[in-house]
């Protein structure tokens, strides 16, 4: 319980911290990592990918991406980025789950990375 800050760097680059994991039960956790995509508009080129992992989920799958924006069904982007083009967060509160309670907030962008405040 408490709050801490962490600087995450893109998973495809050497060095730095790559992910933050927030356990919310014995079988579930939220995970945040920095991803980038070639061909995306510059403002969306890098961002925080958030997903929930469950060791017991069956119907919904073990991993559920929590997208930053609704899917606009753009077939060109979906073909190129496997429907994750709308998933990257670039600022503000990424997660605020009162049920767990877990919170992730983007404080600032640092180069291609992001400084996050994580509260649990």
**What is the distance between the alpha carbons of residues 28 and 8, in angstroms, rounded to a whole number?**
21
In this predicted structure, what is the pLDDT of residue 72?
A: 60
Compute the distance between CA of residue 45 and CA of residue 17 in angstroms, rounded to an integer: 19
pTM of the model: 0.82
Q: Give the Å distances, CA to CA, from 74 to 14, 18, 70, 78, 96.
A: 32, 29, 11, 6, 28
Domain parsing of the chain, residue ranges: 3-119
Determine the pLDDT at residue 31.
96
Largest CA distance in the chain: 43
Angle at 99 between CA 97 and CA 100, to 5 degrees: 75
Q: Which tens digit of pLDDT belongs to each residue from 59-94?
A: 767 888 888 876 666 656 555 555 565 778 889 999
pLDDT above 90 for 101:
no
Q: Each residue of 21-42: pLDDT tens digit?
A: 999 999 999 999 998 765 555 5
């Amino acid at each position: 319980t408490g709050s801490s800050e962490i600087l995450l760097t893109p998973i495809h680059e050497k060095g730095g911290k790559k992910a933050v994991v927030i356990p919310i039960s014995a079988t579930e956790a939220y995970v945040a990592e920095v991803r980038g995509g070639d061909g995306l508009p510059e403002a969306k080129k890098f961002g925080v990918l958030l997903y929930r992992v469950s060791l017991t989920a069956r119907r919904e799958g073990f991993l559920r991406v929590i997208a930053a924006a609704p899917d606009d069904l753009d077939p060109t982007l979906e073909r190129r980025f496997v429907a994750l083009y709308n998933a990257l967060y670039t600022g503000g509160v990424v997660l605020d789950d009162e049920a767990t309670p877990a919170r992730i907030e983007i404080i600032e962008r640092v180069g291609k990375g992001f400084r996050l405040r994580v509260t649990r």
